[in-house]
Amino acid sequence: MMQIITLLLVFSEARALQQALQNVINTASYLSKDTGISLGVATPGTTVALAAGLKNRREQIALQPEDRLGLGSGTKMFTAAAVLRFVHAGRLQLDDVALPYIDPLFRKSTNRSLSQIFGANVRNITVRHLLHMTSGIRDLDTTAGRVRQLLHPSKEMDLQEMADAWVEDAGTKYMSAGSEQNFSCFPGRCGAYSSTNYVMLGIMSAQLSGGKHWLEFDQSAFLPLKLRQRMPRTVFPLKGLCSEFTDVHGYMDLPPAIRTPLRHSNSLIDNQNLACNAGFTMANALTTGKEAAIFLKALLGPKSEILPPKLIAEMTKFRWLETGLGNKVSSGQFYGMGLRDMSLQMSLNPMNALWNPEIFTSGLLLGHDGQSVGWHSFTAYAPQYDFAYSFLMNTDAAAVLFNFIARKTYDISSAVSTPVAAPLRGTYENKQEFLNQATSGKITFSTL
């Protein structure tokens, strides 16, 4: 009898959790004009998969929990973990110079070395610098690049064309001289958000995987088999339109003056006919809220299924990034390796950071967010309660509700979770320097 009562209580608690979370995303979807929202929560005892809103506005089709949406820069969590798996296997070291692990495959695709594009400083970049956003290298994710993508949306990403675009965006006068203007600082001297780091890490992983071409790289290969089996909806497109991988339409407000074939209405564009490999290993993952949460809990939970504690400690060494917003939705840029301290999203009034900058290093939420054409994502792990959650959205109109969803989901999930005795704690290498600048007014939190 006691077992039956216990099972009924567990079932009742799970139902209550789902209903409360469903109310949160229903509210957010309603406030953002039927935005499609996929929410997943992975706790030690249960996994929740919910959806709200529309995946197709023209036909008024509702989003389902198993539908795929884009992670955008949330892809970087997977890329960092994949590279660290190579470190764990002894294939490379964090402080190895990165160029030899990238250049052979890069040359096959572009007929030139990275040093010919970025100058001699690229020879001083280590694997750690790329993972940690401290290489100082220029960000390929530029306004000019995004406009090119919108004007020619079906054009597949190509390393040769990307290399040409790097040269074009920077100006050939820099390239011919190998100027330091291709860097925001010398490698290792500052933190600067640059997605270029994670494209290079992707090429590195493809080379280490033995591929003869970067398109041969299986980005899911690093996942343990049992974990991969729990994530059947997660894919990493390397070729093809988004419509080939998901029937979820991603929408973005865009002025009519930009004449793109993606135009859905006078004010909206639709990403279904967009090349879905845009960004490669910095932004190409498609998944569900449930599976993104499963991945992050498997990565950062007390019994990590992916990396040993030593490398999790490396992943969670955070550094304030002085420059580069990386088209982020949420605020705060203490960056580790494919992870950020995202605790400020707990505040329903982000201006609290002005008088409480310690929230940037509180470690309440560790993860990554993302933004790309038609997609927004937020994925975080709560160390104090050992649960992870992720919400993915298909309009930019819902971005203003990130804090609302993040805080409400945390409060509801933590209320039914048991506190962890010894939670995962990150380290913050320039925390005091950041706090000194924040309290003196030198940091104005322009990311808010």
Q: Judging by beta carbons within 10 Å of its beta carbon (0-12, 13-18, 19+), is residue 341 exposed, middle or buried?
A: buried
pTM of this prediction? 0.92
Q: Which residues of 47-72 are buried (b: 16+ CB within 10 A; e: fewer)?
A: bbbbbbbbbbbeeeeebebebbbbbb
Residue 97 φ/ψ, nearest 5 degrees: -65, 135
- Rounded to whole angstroms, the Cα distance separating 50 from 392 reads 11
Based on its alpha-carbon atoms, the radius of gyration of the chain, rounded to whole angstroms, reads: 21
- Would you say 339 and 367 are in contact if contact means Cβ atoms under 8 Å apart? yes
Question: Would you write out the chain's pLDDT as a tens digit for each of its 448 residues?
Answer: 444 433 333 455 678 889 999 999 999 999 999 999 999 999 998 999 999 999 999 999 999 999 999 999 999 999 999 999 999 999 999 999 999 999 999 999 888 899 888 888 899 999 999 999 999 988 877 777 778 888 888 888 888 877 777 766 654 443 344 445 678 888 998 888 999 999 999 999 999 999 888 888 999 999 999 999 999 999 999 999 999 999 999 999 988 888 898 888 888 999 999 999 878 999 999 999 999 999 999 999 998 899 999 999 999 999 998 776 554 555 568 999 999 999 988 887 766 666 778 888 999 999 999 999 999 999 999 999 999 999 999 998 888 899 999 999 999 999 999 999 999 999 999 888 888 877 776 665 544 4
Identify the residue whose tokens are 């969590």.
Answer: 77
Q: Which residues pair with 97 in a beta bridge?
A: 126
Beta strands in 260-354 (DSSP E): 268-270, 286-287, 317-320, 334-335, 340-341
- Domains of the chain by start residue, with CATH: 34-56+285-448 (no CATH), 75-233 (3.40.710.10)
